[in-house]
């Protein structure tokens, strides 16, 4: 006999996410953590993209500009998104509280099995995929410098001194760039893993709500009172889900707009670098891995954004599938109003303009492909 409690725990999915914030010196009151936060804010969040941008203006050749533009855009928007999410941390915590309340409503074995075998597994796969992709991108970038030969920085950048003055100064500068980009990647892990993970959890909870709705009135021992109570509880669950959607719209409004711009720029320029400016195997490997990282960064958020809309659209059918025919007129009136509420289209938009979904992903891919064919014709 299985004695394990039938519970789901959405907060377990976010353990690694909150670990990112702790490693960056946030979500802690210790003095050393605050000092670490200050150092990272000044030398990574603010100064790192600035020294890359200044380096672009100092480059004289088009090749150097194109080589430096992807990482410059990535670091700039990583800092931009990190600041946006940092400002919205209170709303992120509020969303997690609502998830915990919805977790308590999943009591059946069917709901627990679906969440643990699908939603939780997919959400864990998302943050693990980001770690692998970003880690490989960082390793390939470092290898392209260490094994390419010559005294070249990791990325074209400006320093307030002569980088090539001595060996010590050069390697200290390279070390700063490696440490800076590693911390920027850690920031990006926090930025980019949260939206698709949260969209996945939201879609999972919408599916669980649909399961509960379709079971209303189907039990042999259910009374009109218990059926009406289940309906009211389901309406409250729907209200909490819509509250989460509203919080996500507020949290991701500006940050995801930056994500769209960053992905479009990086995908296009990376293709140009592979075609024209990758002068050794390590450079080709780096840009190839970097390109795949950009696609991975962009695709999950769009996929699960569309999945939320699809699952929300199924709620109306789930309500209709319940046993409402044997209920009284008052119950049917409430049910009809609830069905009308579920007919509203649910979509989260970046910047209030671009719907976060597969349509936006394919539009970006088509744009990148058009840019690629143009570059091939010029070549």
Q: Where are the domains of the chain?
A: 10-378
pLDDT in the model for residue 34: 87
Please state, in angstroms and rounded to a whole number, the distance separating the CA atoms of residues 20 and 80.
Answer: 17
Q: Which of 317, 311, 297 is nearest to 244 (CA)?
A: 311
Per-residue pLDDT at 263: 81
Q: Residue 238 and residue 259: Cα distance in Å, rounded?
A: 29
Backbone angles phi, psi at 366, to 5 degrees: -65, -40
Instruction: Measure the CA–CA gap between 259 and 304, rounded to whole angstroms.
Output: 15
Q: Which residues, in sequence order, are CB contacts of 228 under 8 Å at separation 6+?
A: 327, 331
Helices (H), the chain: 15-23, 31-40, 47-58, 62-87, 89-103, 109-114, 120-146, 167-215, 224-252, 255-272, 281-313, 315-321, 329-342, 358-378
pLDDT tens, position by position, 275-334: 777 777 767 777 777 777 777 778 899 999 999 999 999 999 999 988 888 788 888 899
Task: List Cα–Cα distances, 199 to 20, 259, 311, 348, in angstroms.
Answer: 19, 16, 11, 10
Range 146-155 burial, b when 16+ CB lie within 10 A, else e: eeeeeeebbb
Which pTM was predicted? 0.89
Measure the CA–CA gap between 191 and 83, rounded to whole angstroms.
9
CA–CA gap between residue 379 and residue 278 (Å, rounded): 14
Residue 145 is predicted with a pLDDT of 67
Q: Which two tokens stand for residue 278?
A: 């990758």
The pLDDT value given to residue 176: 92
Encoded tokens for 7: 């519970």
Q: Which pLDDT score, from 0 to 100, does residue 223 have?
A: 79
Q: Return the pLDDT at 6.
A: 57
| Contact in structure between 13 and 120 (CB atoms under 8 Å) | yes
d(Cα 117, Cα 124) in Å, to the nearest integer? 11
pLDDT per 10-residue tile (average), the chain, 379 residues: 63 93 86 89 93 81 75 88 93 95 90 92 92 81 68 82 87 89 91 93 95 86 83 94 95 88 80 74 73 79 94 92 84 90 89 87 80 70
């Amino acid at each position: 006999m299985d004695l394990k409690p039938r519970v789901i725990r959405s907060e377990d999915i976010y353990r690694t996410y909150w670990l990112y914030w702790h490693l960056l010196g946030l979500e802690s009151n210790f003095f050393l953590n605050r000092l670490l936060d200050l150092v990272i804010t000044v030398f990574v969040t603010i100064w790192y993209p600035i020294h890359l941008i200044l380096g672009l203006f100092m480059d004289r050749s088009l090749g150097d500009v194109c080589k430096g533009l992807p990482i410059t855009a990535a670091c700039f928007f990583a800092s931009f998104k990190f600041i946006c999410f940092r400002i919205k941390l209170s709303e992120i915590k509020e969303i997690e509280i609502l998830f915990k309340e919805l977790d308590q409503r999943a009591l059946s074995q069917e709901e627990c099995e679906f969440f643990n075998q699908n939603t939780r597994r997919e959400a864990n796969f998302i943050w693990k995929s980001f770690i692998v992709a970003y880690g490989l991108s960082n390793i390939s970038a470092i290898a392209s410098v260490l094994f390419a030969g010559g005294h070249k920085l990791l990325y074209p950048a400006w320093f307030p001194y002569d980088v090539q003055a001595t060996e010590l100064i050069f390697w200290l500068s390279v070390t700063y760039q490696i440490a800076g980009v590693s911390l920027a990647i850690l920031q990006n892990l926090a930025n980019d893993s949260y939206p698709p993970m949260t969209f996945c959890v939201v879609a999972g909870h919408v599916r669980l709500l649909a399961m509960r709705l379709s079971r209303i009135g189907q039990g042999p021992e259910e009374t009109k009172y218990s059926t009406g109570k289940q309906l009211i509880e389901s309406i409250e669950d729907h209200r909490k889900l819509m509250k989460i959607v509203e919080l996500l719209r507020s949290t991701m409004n500006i940050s995801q707009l930056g994500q769209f711009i960053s992905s479009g720029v990086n995908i296009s320029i990376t293709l140009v670098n592979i075609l024209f400016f990758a002068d050794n195997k390590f450079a080709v490997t780096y840009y190839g891995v970097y390109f795949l990282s950009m696609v991975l960064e962009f695709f999950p958020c769009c996929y699960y954004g569309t999945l939320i809309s699809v699952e929300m659209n199924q709620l109306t059918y789930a309500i209709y599938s319940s046993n409402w025919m044997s209920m009284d007129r008052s119950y049917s009136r409430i049910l009809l109003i609830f069905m009308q509420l579920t007919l509203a289209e649910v979509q989260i938009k970046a910047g209030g303009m671009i719907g976060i979904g597969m349509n936006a992903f394919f539009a970006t891919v088509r744009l990148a492909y058009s840019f690629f064919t143009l570059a091939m014709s010029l070549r």
